[in-house]
Amino acid sequence: MSALALFGGERAKTKPFPQWPQYDTREEEALKEVLHSRVWWRTPGTKTLAFEREFADFHGAKYGIAVTNGTHAIEIAMEGCGVGLGDEVIVPDYTFVATASAVLFAGALPVMVDVLPDTYCIDPDAVEAAITPRTKAIIAVHMGGHPADLDRLVAIAQHHRLALIEDSSHAHASEWRGKRIGTFGLAGTFSFQSSKLMTAGEGGIVVTNDDEFERQARSAHDCGRLPGEWFYSHYHYGSNYRLSEWQGAVLCAQLTRLDDQTALRHRNGRLLDQMLGEIEGITPQTLDPRCTRNGQYAYIFHVDPSAFAGISTARFIEAMDAEGIPHQASYPPVHRLDVFQNGEYRKRLHPDHAQAEHTFLQQSFPNTERAAWEAVWIPQYAFLGDEDDMQEIAQAFRKIQAHAAELA
């Protein structure tokens, strides 16, 4: 019998990883309090309001606007910075569809560009090259928790008078040069979907320091209302993006653990960097020295097939899953998604844009392609474990390498 778990051998992972989501009496008590209060709705409530303040404060922001999910957070950010029909917004090709679909929702064209080969975050040179007179904003994604190059992106945004939005769905509590991400640009957006670094099942928030942005975004998230005005006055186009009191209460409790959990994930991530650095053919996402804390939504690494008997990434993942090491799917390139390739996205655009040729459709973004098809992601909860967990991950990979020929 082979030693590989895939062929009936013992699994390399002997003790279970921590479970996710995590909760204790803090969530239980918070939910009971909302239940008994009979105030389940955000508008007269106190829990979501408190969460907005606490989360914004934690990220060094003046304002937080809690919304229904991370996709809606980006949609609201587009409203806040006035992106609309006929505008262009530069986004990374390597991200979840929401980064681009929120731009389409505003009637603007998402212009995809490549990411850097080492951090998998948007390439600032590619951003500069994609700027046109119609460009209104740049959305950076802090991939897997690792901040994009905020020094360069802030400078580019300032120089060209563009709004910089940080899609921080992977990066709660991540730091760049010792400061938490989210307010380097005009606004930061976060998701609280169940796999994220803190969760209420669904949910999102937008943080900002900008008064005008906040006014626009808050109004858009609440049916075009303005604070202090009559409930049935609606001043702008808006919709209902409000978060419920249940979620606000749970998120207040989740936030109390975020700092310690982030420190732990960062520490375990760096331990695993060292261990995997000794295995030929495995290259972890590079930690930029300016990233002082990686929230580590995903531990991303590249597998060189030539060091693993030529097996595909999919085969590596199959063997790794069997050994008890969980994985999370990498993203396909956004411009290759059906909605872009079949032309459906054009229905959202200004006629000038809808009829134009879009070079990104035919372009090859080599670093995105490599990340999409050859990178492997380990989900964040694995990094809430201890050093033994990291040892077992490394041991599983050494085992797969030793038996790679059997997988070929």
Ligand X SMILES: Cc1ncc(COP(=O)(O)O)c(C=O)c1O
Active-site residues: which are they? 96, 167, 170, 193, 196, 225, 232, 242
Residues 6+ positions from 248 with CB-CB distance below 8 Å? 42, 45, 47, 48, 49, 50, 51, 52, 66, 200
Strand, coil or helix: 347: helix
Supply the minimum distance, in Å, between the C-beta of residue 247 and ligand X. Answer: 12
Total interface residues for ligand X by CB under 6 A: 14
What DSSP character marks residue 307?
A: G
Supply the minimum distance, in Å, between the C-beta of residue 167 and ligand X. Answer: 5
Supply the minimum distance, in Å, between the C-beta of residue 69 and ligand X. Answer: 4
Which one among 59, 64, 95, 378 touches ligand X, defined by CB under 6 A?
Answer: 95
Which one among 6, 30, 81, 98 touches ligand X, defined by CB under 6 A?
Answer: 98
Which one among 64, 204, 238, 284 touches ligand X, defined by CB under 6 A?
Answer: 204
Residues 318-347 that bind ligand X (CB under 6 A): none
Compute CA distances 12 → 142, 320, 331, 369, whole Å.
Answer: 31, 9, 27, 30
Sheet hosting strand 282-284, strand order edge to edge: 282-284, 298-303, 375-379
Give the integer Cα–Cα distance in Å for 67 and 77: 11
Q: Does 254 bind ligand X (CB under 6 A)?
A: no
Residues 45-84 that bind ligand X (CB under 6 A): 69-71
Alpha helices in 307-386 (DSSP H): 313-322, 338-341, 351-355, 366-374
Residues 6+ positions from 15 with CB-CB distance below 8 Å? 388, 389, 392
Compute CA distances 363 → 57, 111, 302, 318, whole Å.
Answer: 41, 11, 22, 31
Give the integer Cα–Cα distance in Å for 160 and 53: 31
Contact segment (CB under 6 A) with ligand X among 16-24, 96-104, 281-289, 373-381 equals 96-104
Supply the minimum distance, in Å, between the C-beta of residue 76 and ligand X. Answer: 12
Q: Pick between residue 141 and residue 156 the one whose CB is nearest to ligand X.
A: 141
Which one among 48, 119, 169, 294 touches ligand X, defined by CB under 6 A?
Answer: 169
Residues paired with 367 in a beta bridge:
none
Q: Pick between residue 52 and residue 323 the one whose CB is nearest to ligand X.
A: 52
- Using Cβ positions, the residue closest to ligand X within the complex turns out to be 70
Q: Does 96 bind ligand X (CB under 6 A)?
A: yes
User: What is the per-residue binding string for ligand X in 209-228, x denoting contact by CB under 6 A?
Assistant: --------------------
Supply the minimum distance, in Å, between the C-beta of residue 72 and ligand X. Answer: 7
User: Please, are residues 141 and 112 in contact by the beta-carbon 8 Å criterion?
Assistant: no
Task: Enumerate binding residues for ligand X (CB under 6 A).
Answer: 69-71, 95-96, 98-99, 141, 167, 169-170, 191, 193, 204
